[in-house]
Chain A
Amino acid sequence: MKPGIYFRITWALAVHTWREGMRKKTLLGFLLLSILVIFGSNVVATVMPEMPGATTVASDMGTNLIKDICITAISIFGALITVYVSATVLPSEIENRVVYTTLTKPISRFQYLLGKFLGAQLLIIMNLVLMGLLFFVALYFREGVPPTLLIWSVLLTYFEFLIVSALTFAVSATASSSVLPIIAGLFIYLTGQLTEYLRGVVERASIAETFADRLVGTIAQGLYYILPNLQSFSIRTDVVYGSVNDPLIIDYLPNLLSYGLLYALAGFFLAYGAYRYKEV
């Protein structure tokens, strides 16, 4: 098959998956909830009293509150949407038997999976863009200048979700219903956020004297290096709150993007490995 046709078919699958996802009420529910929270943050910030003394331009408590609530809302609802989309995109095809008609066509499993994965990413990106746009508009109307740093923040959040999505997708490739992948996806997200804790364990074990402690330290170190550390993406908060001259972002961005991409590829290949011999 020519590469052009190969990718056109894959893209058609991705677009189909995206359209299919858009019809799901659960997904729309998540999106509406997140939009409500972001909108609500503006209302809260408007009615919030200003402490006397904090009268300077920078002392805009309302803006801080909007930022807090919106970042939190994007994190929570974005994670839920990511897990839900990535966990259901394959099993739902089995449940409604669409997969049988699709795979009987001249489409390789790799191509099928790639199309499905890309479709899931389109859904996640679309949701993130919608939430980010609302956040952007809210901040723009409040501060009067476009909060361009927010774009970086949303981009980093997406790469964090990309890892969760790919690993959840790998689990869903082994499952025939979406319950297990959803639970696994949430677990992956929580684990990814708590990987940082392993670093503390390693540090403490390094000053311990007993063999058992050192063993625990070694295991923790191994896990720390293997498991993706989603806390690394917490720089997104610094991006929003950071000062104008902060030079760190230039170093962080490429490293974080490639980090997300590598784990996402690993997750996708795991999914392919699992789905390759799956009987459908």
Chain B
Amino acid sequence: MKHMSGIAIAAAVLVLIGLGSVQGARLDHLRDSEEFYRWVQGATMQYSFDGSLIDAETLARYGEQPLDNEFFEQVIAVGEATLPELDGPVDPNAPIYAQRRLVRIVQGGANDAILWDWAKGPETAELRAQFAALNRDDLLVSAGTEYSVADMYAQGTAPSLGNVIFGFRQLAANLLWLEADEDFHVGKIHRIMPMMHTIVATDPSFIEAYQVGAWHYAYNLTAKMPDTPEELKVWSDRYGDWVGAKEQRYYEGEALLKQGIRNNPRNSHLYFDLGYAIIMEKQNDPERAVPYLREATRYQHERYMPRTLARAYEQAGRYEEAITEWQAYMDNVDPDSEVAQRFIRYAEAMIHEAQANELEDQLKSLEDLLEDDPLGPMLDQAEELQEEIDMHREEAQRIWGGIIAEHGDDGRAYAQILRNRARALHSEGRSYEAVGLLDHARWNVSTRLFQELSDTMTDIKLEEGMRLTLSEMAQLIRNERNQAAREAREGTGEPPMAQTDELLESEFEEITEPEAVELDASS
């Protein structure tokens, strides 16, 4: 080292800096690939649920037409051509978009290494360049701003040394969160909502902000709002549905959670909150909740998530899948779960109840035909159907009875037994007794089945020409109006009223006046 000349030192420095530059270029490649990889991951998860990437809500927020959907179609196409086919069967009943190779690889998170290799590989070089260009020109609204420091400048804000150097963005988000918490405790929910959006823009990995923001939208803001009657709903381009002020809040909560999922596609809590708290509980759509809840269980999750998925299957009328899910829960989580055993029995009984209901509908159609030809060939068929119905009802009764015998007092099972007994009484012509039994069941046995029991009661009353109570009449009128409104809407073809989103906005402003908001902390 003593004899090392100045030239040799200079050469060594130059070579080292050169090698450092090469390594820097390699790191740039990795970082570009990472941006692309994370976007693909989030975008694919979004796409896997309904076959589209950017929903109407997000598109409506931007004046310029974003190119997310178009670009993502290219990504899907390249994925189909270059991604490896995964082992295992493809569900032929799944929608076509869920059968894409990219979707199958991204779902569940077990194949992230394959996705990463693909995202940084030569087969996606062109896509990466295109992604960078579109991102730079703000034409990808689904990309967020969280993936690189350079994007902070692209927002048009002055570069802040504090932000750039020490990553204070997350700290700022935390401080905003504290502020939001203070506002929550004094009931200023109208102040919290913009804050929640600011928090997630500042720190897109702030899971709690998505969760709590969506909770405020769907629960607290709507706590005292009545359900909007169908005839008062207006078409929203933003949500692609007919909504009132209350339903719009649900969609806003949904949009916030979807934004969270795009930014954090491996977090089970976001999928769960969207599937359960919003779609299942508020929008009463268990069928639509199932894919989100299923995705939640694919990542590190809490014990209640697979249980909720099983409940969603059951509520959606997919009883066999509910049984499978409860069985898996017992196999993997809690082999002695009394809850799981009980719900498996419920589902088994409900299979028979559902089959009996379906056969009853068929029987009713046959009975209409039999009125014209009472001794025709339909008579035998009707008798066979009746036998089958009885068999299913008996089997269901046996299971409900078994549940009570096994688990003691069970309101749901007992209410179902009473309901079936009422049906039997009704078919024997003892309709007043049947109505009395149902009335007792809905008030004293299981308030959870109140609506179903009430519906059965109203059906019997209508069939027998019995007098309806005022609330039953009101419910019937509401149902008829809603039905008429739905039918009228279907007849209008293209959804009208582009200005309705503005109308909803003005309604929202009225609703979110501080005095008008009452908290529902119990929810």
On A, residues with C-beta under 8 Å from B are 48-49, 51-54, 56-59, 61, 64-65, 68-69, 71-72, 75-76, 108, 110-111, 189-190, 193-194, 196-197, 199-200, 203, 225-226, 228-229, 231-232, 234, 237, 241, 243-248, 251-252, 255-256, 258-259, 262-263, 265-266, 269-270, 272-273, 276
Note all chain A residues with C-beta closer than 8 A to B171.
Answer: 68-69, 72
Does B475 have its Cβ within 8 Å of any Cβ on chain A?
no
A213–B327 CA distance with the chains assembled, in angstroms: 66
Does B17 have its Cβ within 8 Å of any Cβ on chain A?
yes
A234–B148 CA distance with the chains assembled, in angstroms: 10
A99–B451 CA distance with the chains assembled, in angstroms: 91
Interface residues of B in 1-48 (CB under 8 A from A): 1-2, 4, 6, 9-10, 12-13, 16-17, 19-21, 23-28, 30-31, 34, 37
A53 touches which of B34, B211, B302 (Cβ 8 Å):
B211
The digit string for B136-170, where 1 denotes a CB below 8 A from any CB of A, is 10000000000011100110000101001111101
A200–B156 CA distance with the chains assembled, in angstroms: 12
Note all chain A residues with C-beta closer than 8 A to B269.
Answer: 56, 58-59
A127–B249 CA distance with the chains assembled, in angstroms: 51
A58–B178 CA distance with the chains assembled, in angstroms: 18
B19 touches which of A194, A255, A262 (Cβ 8 Å):
A262
A200 with B24, Cβ < 8 A, contacts A49-B181, A248-B34, A273-B9 known = no
Known contacts A196-B164, A262-B20, then 17 further A-B pairs from the complex at CB < 8 Å, ordered by chain A residue:
A48-B178, A61-B174, A65-B174, A68-B170, A75-B166, A110-B1, A190-B161, A194-B159, A197-B164, A226-B17, A232-B27, A248-B116, A255-B23, A258-B23, A262-B23, A272-B9, A273-B10
Note all chain A residues with C-beta closer than 8 A to B266.
Answer: 243, 245
A54 with B166, Cβ < 8 A, contacts A108-B1, A228-B24 known = no
A59 with B178, Cβ < 8 A, contacts A68-B171, A110-B2, A273-B10 known = no
Summarize B's interface: helix, strand, loop or mixed.
helix
A130–B13 CA distance with the chains assembled, in angstroms: 33
Note all chain A residues with C-beta closer than 8 A to B322.
Answer: none
Which residue on chain B has the smallest CB distance to residue A65?
A: B174
A54–B196 CA distance with the chains assembled, in angstroms: 13
Does B333 have its Cβ within 8 Å of any Cβ on chain A?
no
Does B205 have its Cβ within 8 Å of any Cβ on chain A?
yes
B167 touches which of A49, A75, A255 (Cβ 8 Å):
A75
The digit string for B451-470, where 1 denotes a CB below 8 A from any CB of A, is 00000000000000000000
Whether B17 contacts A57 by the Cβ 8 Å rule is: no
Whether B136 contacts A266 by the Cβ 8 Å rule is: no
A266–B28 CA distance with the chains assembled, in angstroms: 20
B149 touches which of A51, A196, A244, A245 (Cβ 8 Å):
A196
For the complex of A and B, the 10 pairs showing the least CB-CB separation, nearest first, are A266-B16, A110-B1, A262-B20, A54-B208, A273-B9, A243-B266, A247-B113, A225-B21, A259-B23, A53-B215
Which residue on chain A has the smallest CB distance to residue B180?
A: A51
Interface residues of B in 159-210 (CB under 8 A from A): 159, 161, 164-168, 170-171, 174, 177-178, 180-181, 184-185, 205-208
Which residue on chain B has the smallest CB distance to residue A111?
A: B1
A194 with B16, Cβ < 8 A, contacts A68-B170, A247-B112, A252-B30 known = no
Which residue on chain A has the smallest CB distance to residue B109?
A: A245
Which residue on chain A has the smallest CB distance to residue B185?
A: A49
Does B521 have its Cβ within 8 Å of any Cβ on chain A?
yes
Which residue on chain A has the smallest CB distance to residue B265?
A: A243
Q: B78 to chain A: closest CB distance in Å?
A: 20
Whether B25 contacts A225 by the Cβ 8 Å rule is: yes
Note all chain A residues with C-beta closer than 8 A to B9.
Answer: 269, 272-273, 276
Q: A273 to chain B: closest CB distance in Å?
A: 4
On B, residues with C-beta under 8 Å from A are 1-2, 4, 6, 9-10, 12-13, 16-17, 19-21, 23-28, 30-31, 34, 37, 109-110, 112-113, 116, 120, 132, 136, 148-150, 153-154, 159, 161, 164-168, 170-171, 174, 177-178, 180-181, 184-185, 205-208, 211-212, 215, 266-267, 269, 299-300, 302, 521
Whether B23 contacts A51 by the Cβ 8 Å rule is: no
Whether A244 contacts B211 by the Cβ 8 Å rule is: no
Note all chain A residues with C-beta closer than 8 A to B1.
Answer: 108, 110-111
Whether B208 contacts A61 by the Cβ 8 Å rule is: yes
A197 touches which of B21, B153, B184, B302 (Cβ 8 Å):
B153
A251 with B174, Cβ < 8 A, contacts A59-B208, A200-B154 known = no
A139–B30 CA distance with the chains assembled, in angstroms: 29
A6–B238 CA distance with the chains assembled, in angstroms: 74
Q: A66 to chain B: closest CB distance in Å?
A: 10
A108–B3 CA distance with the chains assembled, in angstroms: 10
A238–B413 CA distance with the chains assembled, in angstroms: 50
Which residue on chain A has the smallest CB distance to residue B17?
A: A266
Whether A53 contacts B212 by the Cβ 8 Å rule is: yes
A232 touches which of B12, B24, B153 (Cβ 8 Å):
B24
Q: B118 to chain A: closest CB distance in Å?
A: 11
A40–B309 CA distance with the chains assembled, in angstroms: 42
A255 with B26, Cβ < 8 A, contacts A59-B208, A194-B164, A196-B149 known = yes
Which residue on chain A has the smallest CB distance to residue B132?
A: A203
A259 with B27, Cβ < 8 A, contacts A59-B207, A59-B211, A269-B13 known = yes
A68–B172 CA distance with the chains assembled, in angstroms: 10
Note all chain B residues with C-beta closer than 8 A to A196.
Answer: 148-150, 164
Which residue on chain B has the smallest CB distance to residue A231?
A: B149
Whether B267 contacts A68 by the Cβ 8 Å rule is: no
Q: B345 to chain A: closest CB distance in Å?
A: 29
A226 with B21, Cβ < 8 A, contacts A51-B212, A272-B9 known = yes
Which residue on chain B has the smallest CB distance to residue A195?
A: B24
A5–B88 CA distance with the chains assembled, in angstroms: 63
Best-surrounded residue of A196, A226, A255 (most CB of chain B within 10 A): A196
Note all chain B residues with C-beta closer than 8 A to A229.
Answer: 24, 27
Note all chain A residues with C-beta closer than 8 A to B2.
Answer: 108, 110
Which residue on chain A has the smallest CB distance to residue B151?
A: A200
Note all chain A residues with C-beta closer than 8 A to B184.
Answer: 51-52
A110–B1 CA distance with the chains assembled, in angstroms: 7
A269 with B16, Cβ < 8 A, contacts A72-B168, A248-B34, A259-B23 known = yes
A19–B12 CA distance with the chains assembled, in angstroms: 31
A5–B26 CA distance with the chains assembled, in angstroms: 39
Whether B166 contacts A273 by the Cβ 8 Å rule is: no
